[in-house]
Amino acid sequence: MAFGRLERREAPRPMAEINVTPLVDVLLVLVVILIVTAPLLASALRLDLPQAQAARPADVPRFVTVGLDAQGRLYFNDQPVDDAQLAQRLAQAARGAPDTEVQLRADQGVPYGRIVQVMGAAQQAGLNRIGFVAEPARR
């Protein structure tokens, strides 16, 4: 019983030339897509707008900083204050500009209750915008 031929033929050799036809086809398709989409990206509505005397742009947003160190001491714009002085200065800031933001900087070790007290003092003064300042995580 024979299972195959005993003679061995040489296997076909791999093609050693680069076929650039598919590459050219892909590049031509990309060029056509670029030609079709380029006018869409470059077009803009050209208007001749009228000139008007308007108010000056709003000033940069105002903010005050309130800091709490690890011992719970308060700082208003980097100046040490006590609770009564903090409430007074926050009220002054609210009278000057009610949209003033309070940037709260607190040490990690400060108890949460102390931070809530400072937030409450700011809200009682009329400052409702409070931002928490943190360091970005290091990798």
Q: Where are the domains of the chain?
A: 63-132
- Digit-coded pLDDT (tens) for 61-91: 689 999 999 888 899 998 999 999 999 999 9
Helix (H, G, I), strand (E, B) or coil at 80: strand
Percent of the chain scoring above 90 in pLDDT: 43
Query: For residue 4, what is the DSSP state?
Result: S
Which amino acid is residue 80, in one-letter code?
P
Provide CB contacts within 8 A for 65, sequence distance 6+.
Answer: 75, 76, 77, 78, 102, 103, 104, 105, 133
3.40.50.300, 3.40.50.2300, 3.30.420.270, 2.40.37.10: CATH of 63-132: 3.30.420.270
For residue 31, what pLDDT band results from cuts at 50, 70 and 90? very high
Helices (H), the chain: 21-42, 83-96, 112-125
DSSP state of 17: S
